[in-house]
Amino acid sequence: MTFKVQRIEDLKKVDVSQLVTESEEEGYRFLTRLVNDYEDGSNTFNKNGEALYGVWEGPEKLVAIGGISQNPYTENKDEARLKRFYTLGDARRQGVGSQLLSELVNHAKGNFKKITCRTESAKADAFYRANGFEETHDTPETTHVMKLG
């Protein structure tokens, strides 16, 4: 299968329904928040350094999504936050998540000095550590950090 990573300029023009449905079935509500925040304008990934990316299988099937934003938990503008990162079950273990994360990290490098995120999932913990993040317990809202440059 061929996967293509592409920046999402307008989430309202992208069908994320399958991602939202599957993530909710797994007990995650963060993609529902992504859609709601985008619709109400509270987070559209349009601030300095921010971006939202997706991975498509073929021309129409969105199989993964994730964003980089300014970290809302600090005043430090050199710190990014990995947000709303999710891959469909059928696309996992095929390098899709790593490909998407690599694109997000490359985007962040020009704007930030580190990226933080939070997960409670053992599988996500293993994924982030395998992709260059370090586990941290510095703050309650952060479980992983990657220093850039």
For each of the chain's 149 residues, which pLDDT tens digit applies? 689 999 999 999 999 999 999 999 998 899 999 999 999 999 999 999 999 999 999 888 999 999 999 999 888 889 999 999 999 989 888 899 999 999 999 999 989 999 999 998 888 899 999 999 999 988 889 999 999 97
Would residue 13 be called left, alpha or beta, if left means φ above 0 and alpha means ψ between -120 and 50 degrees? alpha
Are 85 and 66 within 8 A, CB to CB?
Answer: yes
- Which structural domain, as residue segments, surrounds residue 32? 3-147
**What pLDDT is recorded for position 121?**
85
**What pLDDT is recorded for position 78?**
94
> In this structure, what are the phi and psi dihedrals at residue 14, rounded to the nearest 5 degrees?
-120, 135
Q: How many domains does the chain have?
A: 1
**What pLDDT is recorded for position 59?**
82
H helices of 5-149, where? 17-25, 30-40, 96-109, 122-130
Token pair in block for residue 16: 């994320």
**What pLDDT is recorded for position 51?**
97
Token pair in block for residue 146: 């990657």
CATH number of the domain that residue 140 is part of? 3.40.630.30
Angle at 23 between CA 18 and CA 27, to 5 degrees: 150
Looking at this protein, which amino acid is placed at residue 54?
G
**What pLDDT is recorded for position 145?**
94
pTM: 0.92
